[in-house]
Every structure is written in structure tokens, then in C-alpha cells.
């Protein structure tokens, strides 16, 4: 997403954006989003929809809405059968932070 769009989100929300540095990091936060691949979903009848994410080490992790992944404080906000939507918190280049929407689609291979 272009930086202008991220700045627009910060202005539109009119809130102070700051990563929670006191929160313990989750396993998939060790990897950049580009190193992660969505491999599928998993759901029990009437239960939570989980996404299956493969890391660059070849391991597959189960994630749900509210989990974090990627090196930019990416919080998962939605999961569908074919996509994971998240919001990253990235530096704005002016000693502040902005939220940036990102998505990961199901990998072909």
C-alpha cells in the first residue's frame, strides 16, 4: 500500500498510534510477511475460523483473529477461506507511527 494511504488512515482515525512494546511477541512475528504463506483454513462446526500459515522454516502455525504476525506489529483483523487481513503499525518517518492495512492471500503452491 502506498505511504499516502497509510497517512490518510492515521489522519482519518485521528488517534495516536503506537505499538504495544510490553506485549509478548508471538512466534510468527519473527518473520517478515513476505516469508509467510497462507496454506489453508481450519474450522470446527460452529467454531472459530483459523488460518494455517507456513513460515520460512517449513513449519505450519494456526492463527485466528487477534493474533499477530510479521515484523511490523501486524494484528490479524479478519480471516476468510482465501485471505488473512491484518493491520500493521509502521514508522511514519516523522518520529511517529501509522496503521497500514495488509492482506495475505492463499498460496498456490
Count the neighbouring beta carbons within 10 Å of the beta carbon of residue 72: 19
Instruction: Please compute the mean of the pLDDT values over residues 17-28 and round it to a whole number.
Output: 93
Alpha-helix runs per DSSP H in the chain: 3-13
As a whole-number percent, the residues of the chain with pLDDT over 90 amount to 72
Q: What was the pLDDT predicted at 79?
A: 97
Beta strands in 1-109, from DSSP E residues, in sequence order:
37-42, 50-54, 60-63, 68-69, 74-79, 83-91, 97-105
pLDDT in tens, 44-95: 999 999 999 999 999 999 999 999 999 999 999 999 999 999 999 998 888 8
Return the CATH fold of 3-105. Answer: SH3 type barrels. (2.30.30)
Band of pLDDT at residue 5, cut at 50, 70 and 90: low
Q: Domain ranges in the chain?
A: 3-105
pTM of this structure: 0.83
Question: Is 76:65 a contact under the CB 8 Å cutoff?
Answer: yes
Distances (CA, A) of 35 to 24, 27, 31, 104: 21, 13, 6, 11
Amino acid at each position: 500500500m502506498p505511504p499516502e494511504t497509510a497517512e490518510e488512515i492515521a489522519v482519518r482515525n485521528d488517534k495516536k498510534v503506537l505499538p504495544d512494546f510490553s506485549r509478548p511477541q508471538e512466534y510468527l512475528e519473527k518473520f517478515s510477511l513476505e516469508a509467510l504463506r497462507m496454506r489453508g483454513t481450519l474450522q470446527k462446526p460452529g467454531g472459530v475460523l483459523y488460518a494455517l500459515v507456513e513460515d520460512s522454516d517449513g513449519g505450519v502455525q494456526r492463527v485466528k483473529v487477534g493474533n499477530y504476525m510479521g515484523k511490523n506489529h501486524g494484528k490479524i483483523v479478519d480471516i476468510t477461506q482465501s485471505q488473512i487481513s491484518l493491520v500493521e503499525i509502521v514508522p511514519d518517518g516523522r518520529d511517529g507511527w501509522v496503521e497500514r492495512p495488509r492482506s495475505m492471500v492463499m498460496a498456490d503452491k
